Amino acid sequence: MEVKIGVQHAPREIVLESGQSAEEVERAVGDALAGKARLLSLADDKGRRVLIPADRIAYVEIGEPATRRVGFGAL
């Protein structure tokens, strides 16, 4: 699952591929924004954790996993 997270006062967004389902990511974001958690914590496919302060989240975009394209025709 591809997740893009915009952070306030940061010039770039955070993009990660997560093994979590869309519902799990949405629940984690909802809990962080509702004040139940002070940090948004997501794990990527490589086992790394991304922690973002809940009060700095600008937006979260949850999408489908991207298919890898090979070759020059994929542009």
More confident call, 30 vs 66: 30
pTM of the entire predicted model: 0.78
Structure confidence at residue 61 (pLDDT): 95
> Which of these, 54, 48, 53, lies nearest to 17 by C-alpha position?
48
CB atoms within 10 A of CB 71: 6
The tokens describing 38, both together, are 């002070």
Structure confidence at residue 66 (pLDDT): 58
> Which of these, 40, 34, 44, 42, lies nearest to 53 by C-alpha position?
40
Sorted by where each starts, the structural domains of the chain and their CATH numbers stand as 2-67 (2.30.30)
Q: Are 25 and 42 in contact (CB under 8 A)?
A: yes
CB atoms within 10 A of CB 21: 11
